[in-house]
Amino acid sequence: MTKTGQTIATTGAAEWGCTTDGRLDVAAGLVQLSTLVQNIYARVSERHDLTPVQAKLLCVLLGGPKGMAELANGFGVEKAALTGLMDRAERRGLAQRSPVPGDRRAVQVTLTDAGRQAAIAFHGEVGDELSHLTASLGPDDREHFRTTMAEIIDRCETAR
């Protein structure tokens, strides 16, 4: 079997996080899947002349304007670190900061037209590449994977 298959040959099983019967441990499988996703994300980002964090920023902003504090919280960084990211995005003409009406201290971030085009192109390409990860699954298995993944994400977001 392959390293990405449901089972892995017992040779080197511990190295891949397998149980003694050669089955992939759930935690190790999630780590490997995360690595695959991050590698795809990084490759597509590079093809679009973006860093992965710039690509994430653009995709987040596709949902509409966000405040700097909200973005910093979502990225898990201090506002100062987000300021550097925004400085670079603005220099490239991808995003812009503007004051929030009625709140002198608040700043919101929006995509420029170029940023929206870049975000849509990146999002589409990364989506196409990620779909290859589940392409070998049948429709029922793919739907089961999707619903299980959604349940896990929902539980984690609810626990915050």
| Angle subtended at Cα 119 by Cα 83 and Cα 92, rounded to the nearest 5 degrees | 45
Residue 103 has pLDDT above 80, yes or no: yes
Domains located in the chain, CATH noted: 1-47 (no CATH), 50-159 (1.10.10.10)
Please state the rounded mean pLDDT for residues 81-87.
92
Please list the residues that pair with 131 across neighbouring strands: none
Distance CA 121, CA 116 (A): 9
Residues 6+ apart with CB under 8 A from 115: 58, 61, 89, 93, 94, 95
Predicted TM-score of the model (pTM): 0.77
| Angle subtended at Cα 34 by Cα 134 and Cα 12, rounded to the nearest 5 degrees | 95
Backbone phi, psi, residue 73, to 5°? -65, -45
List helix spans (H) across the chain.
26-47, 52-61, 68-75, 79-91, 113-131, 139-159
Distance CA 46, CA 97 (A): 25
Q: Is the dihedral of CA 91, 41, 39, 18 positive or negative?
A: positive
Residue 97 has pLDDT above 90, yes or no: yes
Residue 22 has pLDDT above 80, yes or no: no
CB 42, CB 52: distance < 8 Å: yes
Distance set, CA 75 to CA 60, 140, 146, 150, 156 (Å): 10, 34, 24, 20, 16
Identify the weakest region by mean pLDDT among 18-32, 60-74, 93-107: 18-32
pLDDT at 11: 42
Distance CA 24, CA 30 (A): 10
List, for residues 111-152, the tens digit of each pLDDT value: 999 999 999 999 999 999 999 999 999 999 999 999 999 999
